[in-house]
Structure 1
Amino acid sequence: MTKKVVLVIEYNGSEYKGWQAQKFGVPSVQENLEKALSVVANHPVQVVCAGRTDSGVHASAQVVHFETDAERNERAWTLGVNTYLPSDITVVAASYVSDDFHARFSALSRRYRYVIYSSPFCPAILAKGVTWTYKTLDVDAMREAAKVFLGTHDFSSFRAIGCQANTPIRTILNFDVQKLGQYIVLDVRANAFLHHMIRNFAGVLMSIGAGEKPVSWAKQILDAKDRTKGGITAPPTGLYFVDAQYPDVFNVPKLHLGPHFLPYVDEPNYELPS
């Protein structure tokens, strides 16, 4: 009897050309995970993820599902699968779910964190796990500018030129900017994201935080609906997929928000602007 399994995956994307399996010889997270799952299931396995990540982008809680007729306990789908995975990919939770669950289409929202390390010196540790800037950033100015993005908008100015989404309309449910020691964290939740959207947000907010542009520049770019009017695309190194929200009925495993090197902070209450 075929069953559906949901997994929560953590990975360091530094050595991969993104999540999605590609042509032979191009390293991807999906290909490595499917190979490991196929060994444990003893049959070919294909997975579907909540949100594909680009080359060099990480995840602390990527959600995937797959179907199997293998009789295995949840321990086999975690510790067993991890035996066959490279050290930079780990299954951190597994659960059986109902047949109507879909990692992508059942998701109510997706959440990313973009981690900036502000210091005069480039970090030796986590050099590929954060985005470094030697500039001092005004977090209050960045937070004020980020408020412009809340709600439903045409985000054409923040989508990659090659973005294949059918529409540039997206709804930002929350956008918080926090300073945690030398880390500055952009915490964004939305119904869905466009290609390079968060990295383009980061590029704009870092310019504002550095005092190179005024806070009002964020709205000017948003209103322009033109990518050529936007700022630079920030590097992928600081970007993490940290959560996908689902209806409670599916009982998808929930973890503390990552990445795990950040200190835990209380969750603020978010409301959509009227």
Structure 2
Amino acid sequence: MKYGIHLPHAGEQAVPALIRQHAERAEDVGIEDVWVSEHIIVPRAKFPRSPLFFDPVLSLTWAAAVTKRIKLGTSVLVLPMRHPLPLAKELATLHNFSEGRLILGAGSGWLKEEFSALGVPFEERGRRLDEGIAMMRAVWSEDPVTFESRFISAEIKEMTMTPMPVSQIPLWFGGSSEPALRRTIRIGNGWHGSGLSANEAAPVVRRLRAARPNADFTISMRVQWDGQDRGVLRALVDGYAAIGVEHLLVAPQDRNVDDWEKVMDGVGSLVT
């Protein structure tokens, strides 16, 4: 099992100094990767304590600047909310600046009000996700590139976008809906599940591994832990390992009040 830790880039405790501190410490104790999540603009009533989210790409760039080895992941970027071309530029830049350490966790999103504020049709988010991924992969690999789009406003004919990524950016899809799982099997390099117990995730893991048996397809889960009872954390690890999960991202149960240091200590204790 490999382990990741969520950085304190969201919630009441999020400040740049803590993002840097936790990224450096995670690397020092041998944790595999550090992660951030995303909201751009949120309805206040749905975030009664703290709606603070630092930008995920810039937060990882900040973390990359003070580390050398640890991988950098998004859990997850809501791709349909963003135009693929500037995002492709940002991600390629981060990947190159970090010497190939980025893992792109991507999803279709769930917060309808956020899509409305950004002027993106919520009902098209799945189709926009598919088209956006195809567009980014095209500009990351073809020079010149021509791409015909249906849902995203773009006219790309014999054009160039550089820098291209120094290596392929792994793409892990979140979500456990039928469309999300089909997308993961079709074009993903991994699955980054969330919100499922080991028993609930077991049939999903079996399906994904049957369809994608190759070793370079990663099965990951995001779990929450409050940093208190390490026996609870050990039980989570053992339960997911038993069903074939290979990577766990551990995030605080409540990012506003949990002790991030204790969460970090607990995850660090798992690394051998």
TM-score, normalization by structure 2: 0.27
Q: Which of the two has greater strand per residue?
A: 1
- Structure with the greater alpha carbon radius of gyration: 1
Q: Which of the two has greater helix per residue?
A: 2
TM-score, normalization by structure 1: 0.26
